[in-house]
Amino acid sequence: MNLTPLGDRVIIEPADEEASTSSGGIIIPDTAKEKPQQGSVVAAGPGRTTDEGKVIDMPVKIGQTVIYSKYAGTEYVEDGTDYLIVRESDILAIVS
């Protein structure tokens, strides 16, 4: 990947989508599927800078699985892989 996040931004590779057929056998079109809200951190910026100029380290690390806000971030595609660039405040939890 050719991106380096700045400040408190995190680059996430969203988890694969769920099956495209409902339990009743109905095929769900791509336009009706929910966006995934869980993914793997592939890059993280240095952290948030306070008003005094002090950098607060990021609580998330590369490789961790996180849950993020439904409409968070900016979508980015590189070499056919989808990524999401979000602020640290849009990450709701780290999956352990």
Q: pLDDT for 6-53, tens place per residue? A: 999 999 999 976 555 556 777 666 555 566 699 999 999 999 999 999
46 falls within a domain: yes
Q: Give the domain extent around 13.
A: 9-17+34-95
**Residue 11: strand pairing partners:** 43, 85
Largest CA distance in the chain: 58
Mean pLDDT of 53-64: 94
70 falls within a domain: yes
Reduce the DSSP state of residue 25 to 3 states and report it: coil
Predicted local distance difference test score (pLDDT) of residue 26: 74
28 falls within a domain: no
23 falls within a domain: no
2 falls within a domain: no
CA 17 to chain centre: 14
86 falls within a domain: yes
Number of domains in the chain: 1
CB 58 within 8 A of CB 77: no
**CB neighbour class for 10 (10 Å; exposed up to 12, middle 13-18, buried from 19):** buried
CATH number at residue 91: 2.30.33.40
